[in-house]
Structure 1
Amino acid sequence: MGTFLTVSDETIKNGECTDIYFVRTYDVLEHDNRNPQVVMEVTAGSLPDPWAVFCGLSDVLALFDGLPVTVDAMPEGTVFYPNEPVIRISGKYRDFGRYETAVLGFICHASGIATSAAHIRAVAGGRPLYSFGSRRQHPAIAAMIERAAWIGGVDGVSNTCAPEGMPVVGTMPHAFVMCYDKPEDAWRAFNKRAPKSVPRIMLCDTFCDEKSESLRAATCGASAVRLDTPRSRRGSMRAIIEEVRWELDAHGHEDVKIFLSGGVTREDVIAYQDCVDAFGIGGAIAN
C-alpha cells in the first residue's frame, strides 16, 4: 500500500488488485489445466437515465498492454444505452480473468463521471461548465476525474494534476478573502497579482451579503462575481441571483457576469441557466 492507502500501478498491472474469488478461480483452473478461449462482454443492465457516456477505455488498454488479449470497444465519449455492449475482451480466460475487477472499476467510475457531466452539459443552455469536483474524491485519482469530466463535455477543470491540454481554471477560495482585513483588499490584490490571462472572477459572499459584495467587487476590477454561499444561508437562490443582476445593471456594471458554484446540481443548472453566466460543478459530476 502507498502512504495514502492507495494501490500501486504495479499491483493493478499484475492483477493483484482483484476480488478474492478470481484468485481462487485461477488456482483451481491452473490445477486442472483448464484455460478456455472466452469472450468477456461488458454491458449496463440499467442506468439512472436513458443514456450514458462511455469512458475509462484508456486505462483498460494500459492494463492489457502486453497481454495476449483482443479488445474491441466503443470510442470514449460514445453515448450508450442499457444492455448495449461497450467493450469485448477476447482471450484465454486465465490470461485476463483476474483483471475483471479492475476493468469494471475503470469503466464504471470514469463512465459515471463522464455521464454526469454530459447530462448537465445537455441542460446548460450553452452556459460554460467547469469541473470543480476533484475535492470530492481521493486525490490519487484527480487526473482520471478531470479527464472523464472533460470527455463528458465540461469547458475546463480545476485540478492542477489534470491531463495536459485541458484548460485549468478557478477563481479564489473563501480562505483567500479571509486572509485580508476586508474583501476589497483581497480583490485588489488578486487583480494586481494574478496572471493577466486569469479572468477576474471575484468571490462575493464571504463577509457580507451577495448583493453588497458583488457591487463592491465590480469596482475592484471584477469581470464576474462568483456566488458560492452555503445552502443553509441562501434562502431563494433565484431571488438572490436576480437581485445581484439587477443591482449590477442599475449601477452600470452590465458587463459583469455571474458565476454560480457551491453544491450546484443538474436541477440547479436547469433552474438558473437563464440568469447565470457560468457554473462550477463539484459533487454533481465527481460523485
Structure 2
Amino acid sequence: MVTMTTTTPTVATSTAMLTDHYELTMLRAALVDGTAHHRAVFEAFARRLPQGRRYGVVAGLGRIVEAIESFRFDAAHVAWLQDTGVVDERTAGYLLDYRFTGDVDAYREGEIYFPNSPVLTVTGTFAECVVLETLVLSILNHDSAIASAAARMVTAADGRPLLEMGSRRTHEDAAVAAARAAYLVGFAATSNLQAGFRYGVPTRGTAAHAFTLAHRSEADAFASQVAALGTGTTLLVDTYDVPQGLRTAVGTAGTDLGGVRLDSGDLADEARRARALLDSLGATSTRIAVTSDLDEHTIAALADAPVDLYGAGTRLVGGSGHPTAGMVYKLVAIADAPGRDAPMRPVVKKAAGKGSVGGRKVAYRSLDHQGHATREVVVVRHLPGAPESGLGRALQVPVVRDGDVVHQPPLAAVRAHHRGAKAELTALDLDLAPGTPRLVADPTALGNLIGATA
C-alpha cells in the first residue's frame, strides 16, 4: 500500500555555490577594508522590458526565499574555494559562518511590473547582500521570463485551459521552475511530475506517439490505453491518418471518449475537421486538445477553432519563447561606517544606458474608478519610513525580516493575486501585438517622486 502525503518537500541542498566568482572576490576585498560590515541596500529591477512587451510578471520569489534559506557554505565548499585561490583564510571563515540576517522586501509573486519597478529590495550588510546577487538574478530572471510569456498565452487562450509541457525542451531543473511559473499565472496543469511533487502543481498526461508505434496497430494501442486509464482518457490520433485515428478512437472508447489530441498539421483546420467528424460519430462531448510549438500568437490564431485545451512547451521554455526579463541587482545606498544606525547615503550608477537612481525605493500603483492602473509612483526613501498616503496600492511587501521568512504564501494565493493584478491592466496593455509599456517610472527624474503616468 502506498501512503500519500501532501507535505511539500523542503530544499535541503546548499545553494551557496550557485554564484559567480566575482561575488567572493568583492567579499574578500570588502572584508579587508571594512566595507563588508556597512549597512547597504540593493535593488533588483529591469531597466526595460523585452522588445515589444507591454508588461512583465514577477515570478520566482518563493524560490528565492527557499534559496536564501539554503545559502550555506559547508567545509567542502570552503576548502575548494581556498584550494583554488578564490578566497583567503579571512573570507573562508566568514563563509563558514554565513547566514543571511537582513531584510527582503519585494513585489508579490504574480505582480505586474514595468521598467524601473523596484521589484526586490535586499537590506543588510554589504557582505551578506552582495553574495546573493547571482542567485537572486538567476531565479528572478528565469521565472519572470517564463511567467511573462505564459501570462500572454493565458490571455490568448481566453479562458480555455493550458497545459505546460516543456520539460523535454530545457534543463531538468529549469523545467520544474518553468512549470511552477506557468501555473502561477494561470496554466491549469503541467506534465512535469517533480513540479507536482515539490510545489503541488496539478499534473496531466496520457501517451506519446511512441506508445502507438509500440503496438501492432493503432486500435491495439488505443484499446490498451483505454483499458488502463478508462474512457475519459485522451487519445493521440495523428500518428498515421487523423480521420481514421478519430474513427478508431471512438470505435474503441465509445462516444464517451474524454478527448483526442492533435500534434501536427494545420491545427485550426485539423481541429475543425476533427470536431465535425467526432460530432457525426456521436462523440459530441469529446474534447479536442492541440499541441505543437504553440505560443501566444498561434494560440490567438486558434481562437475561432473548436479547441478545448492547449499544450505549450517549446515556445514557453525555449529562448525564442521568453526573451530575458533583464533584471539587474544594483547597490543604491550604503553606510560609511558599521552599525545598524549608521546613516546611509544614496549611490548612483551613471554609465550611459545603464544609469540608476540612488536611494531605497518603494512603489505604489494608482487605479481609476474602473480599477485600471493609471500610474506607478516610485518613492525614493533613503531610510525606510511610514508609507506615503494617497499614492495607491503598495506594491512591495515584507518578505524576510532579520533573516526570518515572513511572507511565503501558497501557490493558490499567488495565483489569486496575479489574477487581481492582471485585472488592473487595460485592453491596450494586454494587446499581443508588439508595443511599449504604458506605465514607466522615469529613472532620470530628480526629487523624491518618480512618476509613471498613462
TM-score under structure 2 length normalisation = 0.57
CA distance in 2, matches of 1:61, 1:240: 45
* Secondary structure of the structure 2 residue equivalent to 1:17: coil
Paired position in structure 1 for 2:315: 284
Q: Deviations over 1:136-162 (max 9, x none)?
A: 221134332221111121001111111
* Secondary structure of the structure 2 residue equivalent to 1:148: helix
Paired position in structure 1 for 2:39: 37
CA distance in 2, matches of 1:155, 1:60: 23
The yes-or-no answer on 1:168 pairing with 2:170 is no
TM-fit CA distance, 1:261 = 0.6
TM-fit CA distance, 1:17 = 2.6
The yes-or-no answer on 1:272 pairing with 2:309 is no
Alignment equivalent of 1:178, drawn from 196, 213, 217:
213
CA distance in 2, matches of 1:98, 1:150: 30
Q: Deviations over 1:107-136 (max 9, x none)?
A: 111111111111100110211101001222
TM-fit CA distance, 1:172 = 0.7
The yes-or-no answer on 1:53 pairing with 2:60 is no
TM-fit CA distance, 1:278 = 0.5
The yes-or-no answer on 1:155 pairing with 2:185 is no
* Secondary structure of the structure 2 residue equivalent to 1:161: helix
CA distance in 2, matches of 1:164, 1:72: 23
1:106-255 pair list within 5 angstroms? 106-162=139-195, 163-194=198-229, 196=230, 199-206=232-239, 208-221=240-253, 222-229=257-264, 234=265, 236-255=266-285
* Secondary structure of the structure 2 residue equivalent to 1:68: coil
- Greater relative CO, 1 or 2 (CA 8 Å, sep 6+): 2
The yes-or-no answer on 1:258 pairing with 2:288 is yes
Structure 1 pair 185–285 and aligned structure 2 pair: CA distance change class (3 A): same
Name the structure with the higher strand share.
2
Aligned partners of 1:211 and 1:240 also within 8 Å: no
Aligned partners of 2:150 and 2:187 also within 8 Å: yes
CA distance in 2, matches of 1:96, 1:137: 30
Aligned partners of 1:218 and 1:256 also within 8 Å: no
Greater alpha carbon shift after TM alignment, 180-189 vs 27-36: 27-36
Structure 1 pair 201–68 and aligned structure 2 pair: CA distance change class (3 A): same
Aligned partners of 1:116 and 1:152 also within 8 Å: no
Structure 1 pair 143–260 and aligned structure 2 pair: CA distance change class (3 A): same
Q: Which runs of 4+ in 1 moved over 3 A?
A: none
1:53-132 pair list within 5 angstroms? 53-65=57-69, 66-132=99-165
Q: Which amino acid aligns with 1:153?
A: G
**Any stretches of 5+ residues in structure 1 without a counterpart?**
1-7
Structure 1 pair 257–55 and aligned structure 2 pair: CA distance change class (3 A): same
CA distance in 2, matches of 1:184, 1:97: 61
**Any stretches of 5+ residues in structure 2 without a counterpart?**
1-11, 70-98, 319-454
Greater alpha carbon shift after TM alignment, 52-61 vs 248-257: 248-257
* Secondary structure of the structure 1 residue equivalent to 2:252: coil
Q: Which amino acid aligns with 1:117?
A: A
CA distance in 2, matches of 1:166, 1:68: 31
TM-score under structure 1 length normalisation = 0.88
CA distance in 2, matches of 1:72, 1:245: 50
Paired position in structure 2 for 1:17: 18
CA distance in 1, matches of 2:277, 2:143: 41
Name the structure with the higher helix share.
1
Q: Deviations over 1:54-90 (max 9, x none)?
A: 1111222223334111000111111111211111000
TM-fit CA distance, 1:164 = 4.5
Q: Deviations over 1:148-202 (max 9, x none)?
A: 11112100111111134321101211111111111111111111112x5x94100
% identical aligned pairs: 29
